[in-house]
Amino acid sequence: MGVSRLKIIDLSQPIFTGMTVWPGHLKTYIFPYTTHEETKRRYKLSFETRGIILCDHGTTHVDAPLHLDPNGKSVDQLPLELFYREAVCIDARHVPPGEAITVKDIEEYCRKTGLEIREGDIVLFCIGHYDRHTNAKLEYVLEPFQGINAETARWLAEKGVVGVGFDGPAADCSKNIARGEFPADEVLKEKKILCFENLCNLDKLVGKRFRFIAFPLKLVGATASPIRPVAILE
Buried b (16+ CB within 10 A) or exposed e, 29-40: eeeeeeeeeeee
Q: What is the pLDDT of residue 4?
A: 61
Q: Please state the φ and ψ torsions of residue 217, each to the nearest 5 degrees.
A: -75, 155
Domain ranges of the chain: 61-233
One digit per residue, pLDDT tens: the chain, 234 residues?
455 678 999 999 999 999 999 999 999 999 999 999 999 999 999 999 999 999 999 999 999 999 999 999 999 999 999 999 999 999 999 999 999 999 999 999 999 999 999 999 999 999 999 999 999 999 999 999 999 999 999 999 999 999 999 999 999 999 999 999 999 999 999 999 999 999 999 999 999 999 999 999 999 999 999 999 999 998
CATH number, domain 61-233: 3.50.30.50
DSSP of 28-56:
PEEEEEE-HHHHTTT-SS---EEEEE--T
The pTM for the full model equals 0.95
Q: What is the pLDDT of residue 2?
A: 52
**Strand 147-148 versus strand 100-101 pairing type:** parallel
First-to-last CA distance in the chain? 8
